[in-house]
Amino acid sequence: HPIVENNKAGFSDEVLEKIEEIKAAKMKATDYGEEVEKDGIDTNLKAINPFSGEELPVWVGNYVMMEYGTGAVMSVPAHDERDFEFANKFGLPVKEVVSGQWSVVSEESKIQNPKSKIEQAFTDYGMLVNSGEWSGKTTEDAKREMAEFAEKNNFGEAAITYRLRDWGISRQRFWGAPIPIIYCEHCGAIPEKYGNLPVELPETAPFTGVGESPLARVPEFVNTTCPNCNEPAKRETDTMDTFVDSTWYYFRYIDPHNSEMPFKPETANYWLPVDQYIGGVDHAVMHLLYTRFWTKVMRDIGLVDFDEPVKNLLTQGMVVGESFYSNSKASYIPPDEVEIVRDEKGKVVEANLKADNSPIKVAVEKMSKSKYNGVDPDDMIAIYGADATRIFALFAAPAENELVWQETGIEGAVRFLQRVYRFVYRWHEALRRLESQEPRAESKLETRKLRQKTHQTIKRIRENFESYQFNTPVAALMELSNALGDFKVAPEKASDDELFAVNEALQSLILMLAPYAPHFAEEMWENLTDSERGILQSDARFPVADENLAKADEIEIPIQVNGKLRSRVLVSPETSQADLEAMALADVKIKEYTDDKQIVKIIVVPSRLVNIVVK
């Protein structure tokens, strides 16, 4: 840092030696993300905090990067984990300036109750304390105001610091995009002529295993002429990183035969950006970073008129499974060699090695052959069927979360499908008697309840699909099957209205089950409709909810006092605002918090909540 370089003459030998030691260690480091033990030394220089006028010591630290920001940081140990570790190691003061306690502050906006000892850095949003005129302000407000103060007083300004590092794209492999650079003894490194692009790979290249690119052993590819002086020259034999290909391949898909440019801008602007991207969480760090960068480059050179490559992103979580580790053997153990005791919920409460009864450590980790916790989907399909396996995989967790693999979960999916199967065959014959396509308005309460549940389920599942929530619809379908099970009418004695309600529920259940269990749903549809044409062949449509039928008889309204939940009431959806206010004030639990208090106002959000403000 310039401050270090400009003041070296005044440093002690100890300080100079430590600086050289830190510099040497940094030159060896290859991974910025790697955690290293904090090291540093006091230079005996002093700096002034321009916000407070306080004098501060200047230290050299090994965790501050010269290439990031200004290469110097204001250490705040109480609110930065690295600064906290550094301060603890060297006995530096740790002063709290952000509190997680969102307290009501005095008129002077001061909070002067710092913790006696800070056990760990508080890095969340909070309220400033011990910060002069900014005490009592939220971190976001204070950050903005302090930046304005710095600019007004000519000692700083707000700036965005990017953490992008250089991207080394060259790879020593044959199958990749050639790098269009030519090396000439006279002209140096020269780009290939535009008219000679794209540089094409040879049909084949020898794989020698010596570390260099196979292309280096193909003379007809390597030997060329300099585009500048026409003298003999050599072509670059490294090819580009595969991420270069994956950053923009889908742009090429929309205009694959264009020989003049990557794609027509007007074509890209019509088809792109991508409406929905679904990829593993491992893509989020690498591929998506690169494709966003590439898109912004193409935006800057006028190839596209949008800023981001995709509109919506869904990153699904990984499938994880139980692993068993033996300390005595210092290795992972296959599950069949472990004696496992589980509780009623299937959780492992004890695990011992069968061979010697030694204890086993149980963990839930990313599936791996070396950890013996992988599951072959083919084995599960052979035992339980494709549909049950699919239902479990979608039901076990939200798509974006980790999925903990448990075979008992598939067994639950099998039982659910068996239940639906029994419903279809129980009602199959009786439903042949159904004549009316519309039930009577004066149907029995049980019949109306079943229809209400059917349409509530349709509405809920449609909404879940729109927001890519694929686990909750399975729960909704199970609830609908429970409602069918609770419909205590014998099929042979069912009226036309009752048959209509059951038929509507069963058909809706099967159609909504089709995305999860397509094979099973097709078979059930054929049986239910007495047709050899399945869902797809009969062009059946996903059911649509009747809003009037889906409307709840009662809804639950939370009642708050000064923003805190104090009670709940069940009311009709049509309950007026005045009635909601009256019910809230009459509630016994609410009266505990409002008696002897002045009611300032009552806020009613229709069908959502009531908030009573008191003082």
Residues 182 and 225 in one domain: yes
Question: CA-to-CA distance for 376 and 531, rounded, in angstroms?
Answer: 36
Residues 408 and 540 in one domain: yes
Look at residue 13 in the predicted model and tell me its pLDDT.
Answer: 92
Q: Which domain holds residue 607?
A: 555-614
For CA atoms 503, 504, 507, 512, give the dihedral sign: negative
Residue 158 belongs to a domain: no
Residue at 100: amino acid letter: G
Burial 77-88 (b: 16+ CB within 10 A, else e): bbbbebbbbbbe
Residue 122 belongs to a domain: yes
- As a dihedral over the C-alpha atoms of residue 15, residue 20, residue 22, residue 27, rounded to 10 degrees, the angle is 170
Residues 518 and 408 in one domain: yes
Question: CA-to-CA distance for 394 and 477, rounded, in angstroms?
Answer: 13
3-state helix, strand, coil in the chain (%, to 5): 40, 20, 45
Residue 159 belongs to a domain: no
- Indicate the residue among 210, 240, 270 that finishes a domain: 240
Question: CA-to-CA distance for 321 and 407, rounded, in angstroms?
Answer: 10
Partners of 182 in the β-ladder = 190, 235
For CA atoms 281, 285, 287, 291, give the dihedral sign: positive
Residues 528 and 568 in one domain: no
Look at residue 440 in the predicted model and tell me its pLDDT.
Answer: 67
Residue 470 belongs to a domain: yes
Look at residue 112 in the predicted model and tell me its pLDDT.
Answer: 42
Question: CA-to-CA distance for 58 and 49, rounded, in angstroms?
Answer: 11
- 135-141-142 Cα angle (round to 5): 45
Q: Side-chain half-sphere of 574: how many Cα atoms within 13 Å?
A: 3
Look at residue 396 in the predicted model and tell me its pLDDT.
Answer: 87
Q: Which CATH number do you get for residue 19?
A: 3.90.740.10
Give the rounded distance of the alpha carbon of 571 from its chain centre.
Answer: 37
Q: Are 404 and 364 in contact (CB under 8 A)?
A: yes
Give the rounded distance of the alpha carbon of 367 from its chain centre.
Answer: 19
Q: Are 613 and 600 in contact (CB under 8 A)?
A: yes
Q: Which CATH number do you get for residue 483?
A: 1.10.730.10
Total count of domains within the chain:
6
Regions of the chain where pLDDT drops below 50: 30-33, 103-115
CA distance from start to end of the chain: 57
Q: Which CATH number do you get for residue 354?
A: 2.20.28.290
Question: CA-to-CA distance for 512 and 51, rounded, in angstroms?
Answer: 62
DSSP SS3 for 288: helix
Look at residue 397 in the predicted model and tell me its pLDDT.
Answer: 87
Q: What are 195's two structure tokens?
A: 């008219």
Question: CA-to-CA distance for 386 and 391, rounded, in angstroms?
Answer: 9
Residues 305 and 447 in one domain: no
Q: Which CATH number do you get for residue 585?
A: 3.10.20.590
Residues 148 and 232 in one domain: no
Residues 281 and 323 in one domain: no
Look at residue 574 in the predicted model and tell me its pLDDT.
Answer: 77
Partners of 558 in the β-ladder = 568
- Indicate the residue among 528, 550, 572 that finishes a domain: 550
Q: Rg of the chain over CA atoms, in angstroms?
A: 34
Q: Which residues contact 372 (CB under 8 A, 6 or more apart)?
A: 323, 324, 332, 333, 334, 335
Residues 533 and 510 in one domain: yes
* Residue 317: closest CA among 255, 220, 258, 405: 405
Cis previous bond, 273, omega within 30 = yes
Look at residue 502 in the predicted model and tell me its pLDDT.
Answer: 95
Residue 395 belongs to a domain: no
Q: Is 615 exposed, middle or buried (0-12, 13-18, 19+ CB in 10 A)?
A: exposed
DSSP SS3 for 213: coil
* Residue 250: closest CA among 269, 266, 283, 274: 274
Question: CA-to-CA distance for 63 and 61, rounded, in angstroms?
Answer: 6
Residues 147 and 193 in one domain: no
Q: Are 505 and 477 in contact (CB under 8 A)?
A: no
* pTM over the 0.75 mark: no
Cis previous bond, 198, omega within 30 = yes
- 330-336-341 Cα angle (round to 5): 90
Residues 145 and 15 in one domain: yes
Residue 385 belongs to a domain: no
Residue 264 belongs to a domain: yes
Residue 394 belongs to a domain: no
Residues 443 and 507 in one domain: yes
Q: Are 515 and 536 in contact (CB under 8 A)?
A: no
Residues 253 and 209 in one domain: no
